[in-house]
Amino acid sequence: MSDGPGIDARKVLDSADFRRLVTRRWTISLLLTAALFLAYYGFILLVALDKELLARKIGAVTTLGIPLAVAVIVVAWALTAIYVAWANRGYDRAVDRLKRELGS
Amino acid sequence: MQEAQAAAASTSSTLGQPTAAAIGFFLLFVAITLAITWWAARRTRSAREFYAAGRSISPLQNGLALAGDYMSAASFLGIAGLVALKGYDGMIYATGWLVGWPALLFLVAEPLRNLGKYTFADVVAFRLRQAPVRIAAAIGGILTVLFYTIAQMVGSGNLVKLMFGIPYEWAVAIVGSVMLLYVLFGGMIATTWVQITKAVLLLFGVTVLTAMVLARFAWSPGAIYAAVADGYGQAALEPGGLVTSPLDAVSLGLALMLGLLGLPHILMRFYTVPDARAARKSVLYATGFIGYFYVIIPIVGFGAAALVGREVIGGIDKGGNMAAPLLAEKLGGEVFLGFIAAVAFATILAVVAGLTLAGASALSHDVYVHVWKGGRADEREQMRVARWATVVFGVLAVLLGIVFKGQNVAFMVGLAFAIACSANFPALLLSIVWRRFTTRGAVASILTGAVLTVVLIVLSPTVWVDLLKNETAPFPLRNPAIVSMTAAIVVGIVVSLLGREERAEAMFEDEKLRTYLGVGAE
């Protein structure tokens, strides 16, 4: 475990390509996490602070709150899908390229 | 039980009496899952197979199993009941149960899969000193799993009693023994397939129930809402008393969302897939299934309010847990009720099996193998200890279920999520992302999170007022997560900054190839 990385590994770790990959991964993760927080805690704070808005009727009896609650769930799933779509293409391609440089 | 039966009789429901349909479906489920266990037992020869199903589970299978591991009887029966009795508030609550999944993917799922072997403690202890970190992580993990298990066992005893009319102790003992058979002999392979079977049955059952409700209302949700508003006023479709103080609401939201990132039985499932890519895809599947479930379950709740009626639902069980079964009987007769009752039973079994495997792995893999034996235990010994730990944990679950009979344990689910989000999650995340994180920082963070959560929840209105019947509570929030998680993060950072751990810092650079590229991952 503590053998330390070989020469190839050192080269990959220090490469701009690898550093860019790690930075990009966390930038995207944190942006999506921020969007998730905005959607969910925004909804919760709306419930806590502005009940009248959620109680507003948008149909005969249907209130605005009902589609908003469903929207929180749909948005959460969509954010997941965005991450997976990005990672399946961009991230995995970079991983394969870097692994080839490692010769593994 | 007599009350329940009397109430059921007065509404001409067969609920609470063991009907042929209910027993038939239940026995069929047990027979199928035990056959799966027998098949799995012959494939469970190594620790890798026992804890991680040989890392051979596909993303779709793991997505279903994660859904089966997560969707408890509380989310199925409890949220349907909450929507039936309290209306829109139940929908607000339902959203909180899904939003942890994207966060789990963005922050921990892939690094967790790349760095660990069987438990989340593998990741926290990866470059730190094994013994202290493993012990602390096992404390956080076992507390989480224990409180979650007590809530599940007590809930299962009550539900099975309500639905099948069998005595509480018997119900708990049946759940305990069947679950123990799965885990003991079939390990993670059997547990995975029980969870997949349960998820498919639950999603199918709820979909049929939703379709039946919609068919009654000309396939228009608006017509259901109109019927609910007609019977119980427009207030049923508006936010009520669930969310009042913003701080309280955000604190509960944090526990539900980030607690998922510290649930040992969920995290453990990521080791059952071949690599980080499969782990990532399985979260997308799981989020899809679970999201679909939480979108349609309110329709079941509103349908129950409109078609069965709040008086009848509340008369049988104050918490409304029987809303979905009563609706099933109303729309599909005794046979469909039997099916839904068996699905609820299956739901409990699958969740408790996952919890037991997680509890056993903390005892055997983290404490016995890595602390007691210093990481040196051969395959046979690992398997022997894993099975003993399973028996210990399974028996403990049954005993605790019986000890807590008749107690109000609903708060224990919230407590389990609060400990997961305060003790387990900060240490897990910091160990993945922060070079300077040290052994002392990890231990201090985990212990602060665990102790503070338990102390604050005892002093909160949840326990201090509701259970201990005091006038006012010393700590104002019903769920302490916002305070206890923040404290755990701050303590973890401050204690780490107080002293350097050079070996851990050096290893952080090296482990990056494994964290981000999966080089050398198990």
Nearest CA-CA partner of B162 in B319, B302, B353, B308:
B319
In a domain, B227, yes or no: yes
Instruction: Output the six-digit token pair for B82.
Output: 């909450």
Report the pLDDT value the prediction gives residue B366, as an integer from 0 to 100.
96
Instruction: Output the six-digit token pair for B351.
Output: 């969740």
Residue A57: what are its φ and ψ, rounded to 5°? Answer: -80, 135
What count of CB pairs under 8 Å joins A to B?
165
Contact at CB, A73 and B249, closer than 8 angstroms: no
Instruction: Output the six-digit token pair for B427.
Output: 């240490």
Residue B481: count other Cβ atoms within 10 Å of its Cβ: 30
In a domain, B170, yes or no: yes
Nearest CA-CA partner of B4 in B168, B129, B122:
B168
Instruction: Output the six-digit token pair for B59.
Output: 């993303």
Domain boundaries, chain A: 7-102
Report the pLDDT value the prediction gives residue B1, as an integer from 0 to 100.
40
Report the pLDDT value the prediction gives residue A104, as an integer from 0 to 100.
54
Residues 6+ apart with CB under 8 A from B9: none
CA–CA dist B224, B494 (Å, integer): 54
Residue B424 DSSP one-character state:
I
Report the pLDDT value the prediction gives residue B12, as an integer from 0 to 100.
64
Query: Is A82 within 8 Å of chain B by CB?
Result: no
> Which of A19, A28, A37, A47 to mutate to test binding with chain B, by most B CBs within 10 Å of its CB?
A47
In terms of CA atoms, which chain B residue is nearest residue A55? Answer: B238
Instruction: Write out chain A residues lying below 8 Å of B92, CB-based.
Output: 44, 47, 65, 69
Nearest Cα of chain A lies from the Cα of B25 at a distance, in angstroms, of 32
| Whether B261 contacts B429, CB under 8 Å | yes
Longest CA pairwise span in chain A (Å):
70
In a domain, B123, yes or no: no
In a domain, B299, yes or no: yes
Indicate the pTM of the whole model: 0.94
CA–CA dist B8, B341 (Å, integer): 15
Nearest Cα of chain B lies from the Cα of A92 at a distance, in angstroms, of 8
Q: CA torsion angle for B292, B297, B302, B305 (degrees, to 10)?
A: 170
Please check the confidence at residue A3 and state whether its pLDDT lies above 80.
no
CA–CA dist B257, B104 (Å, integer): 9
In a domain, B58, yes or no: yes
The whole-chain average pLDDT of chain A stands at 91
In a domain, B60, yes or no: yes
Q: How far, in whole angstroms, is CA B246 from its chain's centroid? A: 25
Those of residues 1-60 in A touching chain B at CB distance below 8 A are 1-2, 4-5, 9, 12-13, 18, 21-22, 25-26, 29-30, 32-33, 36, 39-41, 43-45, 47-49, 51, 54-55, 59-60
**Total domain count for chain B?**
1
Instruction: Write out chain A residues lying below 8 Å of B243, CB-based.
Output: 44, 47-48
How does pLDDT run across B398-433, given as a tens digit for each residue? 999 999 988 877 788 999 999 999 999 999 999 999
> Which of A23, A28, A57, A61 to mutate to test binding with chain B, by most B CBs within 10 Å of its CB?
A61
Report the pLDDT value the prediction gives residue A9, as an integer from 0 to 100.
85
Query: Is B32 within 8 Å of chain A by CB?
Result: no
What ipTM goes with this model? 0.94
Query: Is B117 within 8 Å of chain A by CB?
Result: no
Nearest Cα of chain A lies from the Cα of B82 at a distance, in angstroms, of 15
In a domain, B435, yes or no: no
Contact at CB, B92 and A47, closer than 8 angstroms: yes
Residues 6+ apart with CB under 8 A from B52: B117, B118, B188, B268, B271, B272
Instruction: Output the six-digit token pair for B66.
Output: 């994660």
Residues 6+ apart with CB under 8 A from B114: B275, B276, B514, B515, B516, B518, B521
User: Cα angle at B367 between B362 and B368, to 5 degrees?
Assistant: 110
CA–CA dist B152, B73 (Å, integer): 8
Residue B155: count other Cβ atoms within 10 Å of its Cβ: 24
Instruction: Output the six-digit token pair for B497.
Output: 């900054």
Instruction: Write out chain A residues lying below 8 Å of B512, CB-based.
Output: 13, 18, 22
Those of residues 439-478 in B touching chain A at CB distance below 8 A are none
**Which of A5, A26, A69 has the CB atom closest to B513's CB atom?**
A5
Instruction: Write out chain B residues lying below 8 Å of A43, CB-based.
Output: 95
Contact at CB, B519 and A104, closer than 8 angstroms: yes
Contact at CB, B280 and A32, closer than 8 angstroms: no
| Whether B122 contacts B48, CB under 8 Å | no
Coil/strand/helix, residue B15: coil
Nearest Cα of chain B lies from the Cα of A9 at a distance, in angstroms, of 8
Instruction: Write out chain A residues lying below 8 Å of B516, CB-based.
Output: 18, 21-22, 25, 95
Nearest CA-CA partner of B473 in B458, B459, B453, B454:
B459
Q: CA torsion angle for B242, B243, B249, B252 (degrees, to 10)?
A: 10
Give the residue numbers spanning the domain of B358.
Answer: 2-118+154-409
| Whether B202 contacts B292, CB under 8 Å | no
Report the pLDDT value the prediction gives residue A4, as an integer from 0 to 100.
55
CA–CA dist B442, B426 (Å, integer): 9
Query: Is A94 within 8 Å of chain B by CB?
Result: no
| Whether B300 contacts B209, CB under 8 Å | yes
CA–CA dist B457, B411 (Å, integer): 9
Instruction: Write out chain B residues lying below 8 Å of A41, CB-based.
Output: 250, 253
Residue bearing the bigger pLDDT, A2 or B450: B450
Beta bridge partners of residue A57, listed in sequence order: A63
In terms of CA atoms, which chain B residue is nearest residue A103? Answer: B519
Query: Is A64 within 8 Å of chain B by CB?
Result: no
Report the pLDDT value the prediction gives residue B11, as an integer from 0 to 100.
54
In terms of CA atoms, which chain B residue is nearest residue A72? Answer: B95
Residues of chain B below pLDDT 50: 1-10
Contact at CB, A66 and B516, closer than 8 angstroms: no
In a domain, B147, yes or no: no
